[in-house]
Structure 1
Amino acid sequence: MKKRTAEPFKIKAVETLKMLNDEERKQALEKAGFNTFLIDSEDVYIDLLTDSGTTAMSDKQWGALMVGDEAYAGSKSWYKLEKAVKDIYGYKYVIPTHQGRGAENLLSQLMINEGDYVPGNMYFTTTRAHQELNGATFVDVIIDEAHDSLLDHPFKGNVDLIKFQKLIDDVGAEKIPYLCLAVTVNLAGGQPVSMKNMREVYEICQQNKISVMLDATRCVENAYFIKEREDAYADKSVKDILKEMLSYSDGCTMSGKKDCLVNIGGFLAMNEEELYTRAREMVVLYEGMPSYGGLSGRDMEAMALGIYESIDDNYISHRIGQVRYLGQQLIDAGIPVVKPIGGHAVFLDAKKFLPHIKQEELPAQALAAALYLDSGVRAMERGIVSAGRNKVTGENNVPKLELVRLTIPRRVYTNNHMDVVCDSIISLYEKREQIVGLKMVYEPPTLRFFNARFTPLSVNGELMS
């Protein structure tokens, strides 16, 4: 008999959750324009909107807040953060930013010229937005298997080397400033990249004088999957695997709000001194001094500790295990989800969940809204709404995957909460034909999924018939 395990922590403080009744949830959803991003936090029972900045910090991190050095320049807390990044990630130079998109902004402005191409293993919303705003065209070079939700492939985040080489041949290496490699790949379902693939990609880039810049936001989760799925790494620590992973890159953007286990913060790291010098000059314009980059000293203290805590093998094993706990229950119940279960979230396949709703009627947005209406669980759409519009034609980008992301915050919920989520989804699946599609009634010009508003495509304006 396999022994059950529990969380590798104990609870010292609790936050009371508000539990609305059916009518109250309906009113809150309508007020939010059927966009889960616009629902007030106090009206949410279990919040699976994102794992970004929603981590529960450790006792040591909370204690570190009290010793933060808030000096405007040369903060002691900055040097602790810089040391942690160099120790664990191995890069030579570090620029702090207020969060990951601050680092994306700096990188895009520093490295992209008008007319460039930036290949990547599937887009991410803010990353692509910064690339396009600076004149680049994003090119998806992920393997085809990533677009098949039912395919159980161990490394769906891998770059297709043939696609990548074709892009180099077609546009010329001089038009590709860097390859953006996400580890793991969020919109593919939190899927990892293999060490073998990272090594091969880096070799191609070195041969063609193209930089490899990682989106390292969930790199610790990627390292854990390598430990599990590549035989040569089974006996290595996550820490050692992570260091080798990052050695196959020239730098990274990092949102500290995920694997660094804090509520705010990020950084841009690199190995090239000239790029670092330019980044130091630019960060002053957009973020703050190079020794705080938009962060308080106390936040840098917490992030430095979080970097070390994140590579604890017991922590990351529980982290991945809790996501799988929810995912496996849904698989056992016949719910269509992206396989294999990824590192930070379970992704519902909205096309297969709601086959009666056409993709242009926004099935993922409708399913996320229906989940909140059913139980007060907040998830988010990752489909046609998130994909935005083609910058040339103005037409909707139509992704092959139309997903609802159930994103699990780190060290926040117990498996009992996951059981509640599971029960609600199974209940919805049993009455799925009652859910109707949505139409967008307000569309922001960029990153529309944050602030768009919707209305049900039903005569009476109800989401469920």
Structure 2
Amino acid sequence: MSYPAEPYKIKVVEPIAMTTRKQREQYIKDAGYNTFLLQSKQTYIDLLTDSGTTAMSDNQWAGMMLGDEAYSGSINFYHLQDTVAEYYGYKHVVPTHQGRGAENLLSSLLVKEGDYVPGNMYFTTTRAHQERNGATFVDIIIDEAHDSQKDLPFKGNIDLSKLEKLINEVGADKIPYVCLAITVNLAGGQPVSMANIREVSKLCKKHNILVMYDATRCVENAYFIKDREPEYKDATIAAILKEMMSYSDGCTMSGKKDCLVNIGGFLCMNDDELYQRASELVVLFEGMPSYGGLAGRDMEAMARGIVESVDFHYIHHRIAQCRYLADKLEAAGVPIVKPVGGHAVFLDARAFLPHVPQEQYPAQSLAAELYIESGVRSMERGIISAGRDRKTGKNHMPKLELVRLTIPRRVYTYAHLDVVAESVIRLFKHRDDIKGLDMVYEPKFLRFFTARFEPLK
């Protein structure tokens, strides 16, 4: 395939670190072999996350200068509210400092002890908030999503039979909402089809269960619908996005992804009573309902980012960058999750390091070795991210043991991705030399952020 050129030109540049292998060996040791604990200045190409790492546009930076920092009733809030209504279709929006602030509000408002929250594969912070409020997460994604080599157009789809089975087993009154992620991060950035979204909405309406999206990468999902569902091939990204959101009752949003900003998020809903309750609770956790932990300038940048995000040339290039890196790796025989998703390329650490058992953290080992090899920072998405069962204390043992090479929006060029590909390929050629790790410090919550490791002797 052909890869489109960047649909932007570079106006401001930021120098990046150039380090030696000896330096990197010391840096990763000091960081406990956890790439999250490395310093930015120690990193050459930073593919740790696409969250908050966007390069904002000149239009967004201009908007930052128009921040109305009134404590209540900022004009930027009303601009954000109007933009959300226009592009997503929701009646109410509650700003939060980032996506997990919205997750906290949603779980606190709707979840009670003994509830079950079904979703198309867990996400770390989302599940943590659900469990903190007493719910049990139930994975209802299609089985194929747990197989890295299954090449399906919509591996993020919900298995309707699994959802119906759960409803019959526990009762609809024990299910406060279905958490539908668009796209599914931990499956490899996999999208959900419009057809599946419609069927989920229909089933939930039948049982009076809310559908709440994790809409963090909803624009990427809209692109895949345009690309892979024939009836939408001539539709605009904006039109697909608006229809997609119409099948839900609300959403949590980390604006640090598809809203193209460095900080911010929001909780949306159409129900007036739920909005009133959210407005009361946000004051406790975030701030006034008209700013919720954000400066006026940040809300303005997010409103403008929403408009920019639905530009076809922008999102086409973004998806193409992922495909470019994936194609380079696949041509060299490097095992990756298929098909490539919208925000990252995921290395299959099980297949990459078959000699390292899951209990020795192969994905964490691979991420650390990639940093030593080249200064490229990536992140683990496997047994460490999955955490422990809150009742038994045993490790969750996910079928997918992955290293995520996450591409920030509008930051790197194809030449940078060439460097990444060459680094991974070099590592693949001497993969038998890579050993596992021992976890020497484990925090109680979300351990992948701050856990520390040592190489096994």
TM-score category (smaller protein): over 0.9
Task: Please give the alpha-carbon distance, in whole angstroms, between the structure 1 residues aligned to 2:178 and 2:297.
Answer: 33
CA distance, structure 1, for counterparts of residue 3 and residue 402 of structure 2 = 31
User: Shift of the alpha carbon at 1:4?
Assistant: 5.6
- C-alpha RMSD of the superposition: 0.7
Return the alpha-carbon distance in structure 1 between the equivalents of residues 72 and 110 of structure 2.
27
CA contact (8 A) 2:282 2:292 kept: yes
1:125-175 deviation digits (Å, cap 9, x = unpaired): 000000000000000000000001011000000000011100000000000
Residue matched to 1:463: none
Residue type at the aligned position of 1:13: V
SS in 1 for 2:65: helix
- 3-state secondary structure, aligned to 2:448: helix
SS at match of 1:391: coil
1:192: how far off?
0.2
Aligned equivalents of 2:372 and 2:29: distance in 1? 10
Distance in 1 of aligned mates of 2:290 and 2:146: 41
Q: Secondary structure at the match of 1:441?
A: strand
Q: Deviations over 1:213-242 (max 9, x none)?
A: 000000000000000110100000010000
Contact kept, 8 Å, 2:3 with 2:317, in 1: the verdict is no
Unaligned 5+ residue runs, structure 1?
Answer: 459-465
Could you report, residue by residue, the CA deviation over 1:342-378 in whole angstroms, capped at 9, with x for unpaired residues?
0000000000000000000000000000000000000
Asked if 1:8 corresponds to 2:7, the answer is yes
1:132 maps to 2:128: no
User: Residue 405 of structure 2 aligns to a residue in which SS?
Assistant: strand
Residue 456 in 1 paired to residue 442 in 2? no
Cα distance, 1:18 vs. partner?
1.1
For 1:387, the aligned partner's letter is: A
Compared with structure 1, are the counterparts of its residues 31 and 3 closer, same or farther at alpha carbon in structure 2 (3 Å cutoff)?
closer
Task: Give, in angstroms, the shift of residue 3 of structure 1.
Answer: 6.5
The aligned residue for residue 385 of structure 2 is: 386
Q: Distance in 2 between matches of 1:268 and 1:4?
A: 35
TM-score by length of 1: 0.98
Query: CA separation in 2, counterparts of 1:5 and 1:374?
Result: 29
In the alignment, the residues of structure 2 paired with residue 270 and residue 169 of structure 1 have an alpha-carbon distance, to the nearest angstrom, of 27
Conservation of the 8 A alpha-carbon contact between 2:386 and 2:397 = yes
Match of 1:59?
A: 58
Report the secondary structure of 1:394's partner residue.
coil
Count of residues paired in the alignment: 457
The 1:194/1:425 distance shift into structure 2, 3 A limit, reads same
Report 1:25-40 matches (<5 A).
25-40=24-39
Instruction: Give the structure 2 partner of residue 148 of structure 1.
Output: 147
Q: How does 1:144-183 map to 2 (within 5 A)?
A: 144-183=143-182
Counterpart CA distance in 1 for 2:301 and 2:365 is 38
- Aligned residue for 1:448, secondary structure, equals coil
Q: Which residue of 1 aligns with 2:20?
A: 21
Give, in whole Å, the separation in 1 of the partners of 2:226 and 2:63: 31
Shift of 1:79: 0.6
What is the rounded CA distance, in whole Å, between the counterparts of 2:230 and 2:307 in structure 1?
A: 25
Structure 1 outlier segments of 4+, above 4 Å: none
CA distance in 2: counterparts of 1:193 and 1:438, whole angstroms: 35
Alignment match, 1:334: 333
- State whether residues 3 and 324 of structure 2, in contact with CA within 8 Å, keep that contact through their aligned partners in structure 1: no
Deviation for aligned residue 1:5: 3.0
TM-score by length of 2: 0.99
Q: Which residue of 1 aligns with 2:246?
A: 247
- The answer for the alignment partner of 1:211 in structure 2 is 210
Residues of 1 paired with 2:151 and 2:395: CA distance? 29
Task: Note the alpha carbon deviations across 1:184-237, whole angstroms, 9 max, x for none.
Answer: 000000000000000000000000000000000000000000001101000000
Paired with 1:22 and 1:3, the residues of 2 have a C-alpha distance of: 34
| Match of residue 363 from structure 1 | 362
What residue is the counterpart of 1:274 in the other structure?
Answer: 273
- Trace 1:293-372 onto structure 2 (pairs within 5 A): 293-372=292-371
Percent identity over the alignment?
A: 69
AA at the equivalent of 1:289: M
Match runs of 1:108-119 below 5 Å: 108-119=107-118
What amino acid is the match of 2:285?
A: Y
User: Residue by residue, what CA displacement relative to the aligned partner does 1:68-122 show, whole Å, maximum 9, x if unpaired?
Assistant: 0000000011111111111100001110000000000000000001100000000
